[in-house]
Structure 1
Amino acid sequence: MERVMIKAIYFDLDNTLIHRIKSIEVYAAAFYQDFASQLLEASITDIITIIKTQDNGGYLAKDSPYKTVKEAVSETLYQQLNWHTEPTIEQLKTHWNNQFPLYSVAMQGANELLQTLSEQGFYIGIISNGAHDTRLARAETLTAYSKVNKLVSSESAGINKPAKEIFINTLTEAGFKPEECCYVGDHPINDIEGSRNAGLKTIWIKGFHDWPKNIKPADHSIEHLSQIIDLLSLNNAI
């Protein structure tokens, strides 16, 4: 059977092109600076701990009383920090919404990978769950974002990963067949299982989620984005 050449590489955003935990650490320092005059006492470490716990890697905890990560982070910061002049919860939500994307930290090798893939003629896309404006704002912090051909958010698509339709609709609109595309992500179900069910080849980035025992392994597993170039150079062997 003749091998189908990969023509398009699609990526998740958080913990694939953007390192979410490192981004939180940078954002926490900015939060502390912006609200220091209103706090009785707090440390950047305290703020990081609160945000990481509520953010939960960008996935609202199943037992969370909140509807969104933004609500969970903002309301918990309001409740657990020691304020002498309290901000409103809405102010904290707005700060998270507007400022967190600006402090996005690229995954190691992300910009170099996008540049190289573009030079080699690959179509580059991003498919990410979340609000479109924040997805775009975070992605645009990548210095090589201009190499991305299309960013699709679950909000703009009206479909959330892992539903296979968000993958199929996106690549069909771009003129590709599923077997001509590869998806790269860190989440075993939302990224890998979802895109595989749509017929794409899959590359899992290890280190952020444990692999469920009942899920078939990805086509390839990597620890660093630079390994993608190695996979492609092996006669487009993805």
Structure 2
Amino acid sequence: MIKSVIFDLDGTLLNRDVSVQKFVERQYERLHKWVGHIPIEIYISRFIELDCRGYVWKDKVYKQLVDAFDIQGVSWTNLLDDYVEQFKYSCIAFPNLIQMFDELKHEKLTLGIIYKRFWYVSNG
């Protein structure tokens, strides 16, 4: 009998591609004063390329962006801080996620989420 279900976050529960796209668009808007000299499409596509679907640490991504686009007035650490603080507001779940969780909880299953180095487990 199944007693628990463990999920991966990115690409399983959250639509990572859509979430990253949304975040980078919003970051560009928030920090337009410093990154506005870069066309938005280029900023977004370069971030996504450097990010390698989340396999590259964001400090490296932002260092490369600052160097490649000669970003002045905001450092790579500022950009990274913005990512850490703001990304959660751009996360897009796959359709029917809440309904699926409700159904699994109704079955009294323990649910867990793995996100890189972090674990979260809920018993209801």
TM class, shorter-length: 0.7 to 0.9
Report how many residues are paired.
Answer: 123
Q: Please say if residues 24 and 51 of structure 1, whose CA atoms lie closer than 8 Å, have aligned partners that are also in contact.
A: no
Q: How does 1:45-194 map to 2 (within 5 A)?
A: 45-60=41-56, 69-81=57-69, 83=71, 85-130=72-117, 132=118, 149=122
Q: How does 1:189-228 map to 2 (within 5 A)?
A: none
The one-letter code matched in structure 2 to 1:70 is K
The one-letter code matched in structure 1 to 2:38 is A
The one-letter code matched in structure 1 to 2:58 is K
Tell me how far apart the structure 2 counterparts of residues 21 and 75 of structure 1 sit (CA, whole Å).
21
Query: CA 1:14–1:79 in structure 2 vs 1: closer, same or farther (change >3 Å)?
Result: same
The one-letter code matched in structure 2 to 1:109 is N
Q: Please say if residues 59 and 80 of structure 2, whose CA atoms lie closer than 8 Å, have aligned partners that are also in contact.
A: yes
The one-letter code matched in structure 2 to 1:45 is E
The one-letter code matched in structure 2 to 1:47 is Y
Q: Structure 1: where are the runs of 5+ without partners?
A: 61-68, 137-147, 151-238
Per-residue Cα deviation, 1:23-81 (whole angstroms, up to 9, x for no partner)? 11110111111111123522332222122112211213xxxxxxxx1112211221233
How high is the TM-score relative to the length of structure 1? Answer: 0.47
Query: Could you say which structure has the larger radius of gyration?
Result: 1
Per-residue Cα deviation, 1:102-126 (whole angstroms, up to 9, x for no partner)? 2111122222211211122211111
**Greater RCO, 1 or 2 (C-alpha within 8 Å, sep 6+):** 2
Aligned residue for 1:24?
20
Query: CA 1:14–1:45 in structure 2 vs 1: closer, same or farther (change >3 Å)?
Result: same
Tell me how far apart the structure 2 counterparts of residues 129 and 40 of structure 1 sit (CA, whole Å).
32
Query: CA 1:117–1:23 in structure 2 vs 1: closer, same or farther (change >3 Å)?
Result: same
The one-letter code matched in structure 1 to 2:103 is T
More helix by share: 2
Per-residue Cα deviation, 1:125-153 (whole angstroms, up to 9, x for no partner)? 112213x4xx88xxxxxxxxxxx607xxx
Q: 1:37 aligns with which of 21, 25, 33?
A: 33
